Structure 1
């Protein structure tokens, strides 16, 4: 996971990540059913900013797993999908 990698390589990042100014972090593991790849298990991390209704959610798969391959397949399929732009 990206956060783990950065934390293992940067003392400054570890200190910043643990400060309350970044807000609370929540997370867990979810099993989802995706129409292209079927069941997929993903870890999720949620960063909630204090005093704001803002959340950043990331989903990652275990490196080297079939779930990682499925997630990559979904990413590629989404990149190939062209959505029409609309104006307000």
Structure 2
């Protein structure tokens, strides 16, 4: 996968959890996790590269919070419209 994408799980019309898939090799799986800012957990592949960010409290995570984590990981920030599925509910 070359581009990040967001997957949101809804319950009763409200976002329950979300996962931001980051660029990774095909078939790469989570090897370890690390807590980040409040409401976020980072998954790392076996080689140590970040492969995803779980948003455990998606309605409380702001674009600024998420971008802060992405920049710390050496990844480009996201645009507000890329988080539109979280804001739609």
Question: TM-score w.r.t. structure 1 length?
Answer: 0.30
- Which structure ranks higher in relative contact order (CA pairs < 8 Å, sequence separation ≥ 6)? 2
Q: Which has the larger radius of gyration?
A: 1
Question: TM-score w.r.t. structure 2 length?
Answer: 0.30
